Amino acid sequence: MAKLKLVLKYLMAALFVLAGAYHFVKPDFYLRIMPPYFPWHLFLVYLSGAVEIFLGILLAIPRFTRIAGFGLIALLIAIFPVHIHMAANPAMYPDISPIVLWLRLPLQGVFIAWAFWYTRASA
């Protein structure tokens, strides 16, 4: 189980680094999904991308894995309103299936549980 946890840790780290980098490569995509009630859309897109990259890197460093896990949980909770907004307003996202928009909500819980796994000490 320890090897699986390690492999999945590096996979999660890579996913967050890549997703964070995508905020800088395609910021228009993220600007389009920002709820109108959030301020400073472009700033928040770049900030969330930078935080994803930073936490993804920290997750891969054994000394910082635990704190990165907590940070990722906080980040995933912070961005959850975006997913709720998208699911509640599918007409604003005609290129994404409403089913996919709704499935992203419980998937966020899976990512939170995955990150939580790294806040626990290894046996």
**1 pLDDT exceeds 90?**
no
123: pLDDT confidence band, cut at 50, 70 and 90? very low
Q: What is the pLDDT of residues 59-86, one digit of tens each?
A: 999 999 999 999 999 999 999 999 999 9
Query: What is the C-alpha separation between 9 and 17, in angstroms, rounded?
Result: 12
What percentage of the chain carries pLDDT values higher than 90? 95
Contact between residue 111 and residue 76 where contact means Cβ atoms under 8 Å apart: yes
pTM of the model: 0.91
Domain boundaries, the chain: 2-117
Q: Which residues of 14-35 are buried (b: 16+ CB within 10 A; e: fewer)?
A: eebbeebeebeeeeeebeebbe
Query: What is the C-alpha separation between 56 and 36, in angstroms, rounded?
Result: 28
**Among 108, 86, 110, which residue's Cα sits nearest to residue 33?**
86
**122 pLDDT exceeds 80?**
no
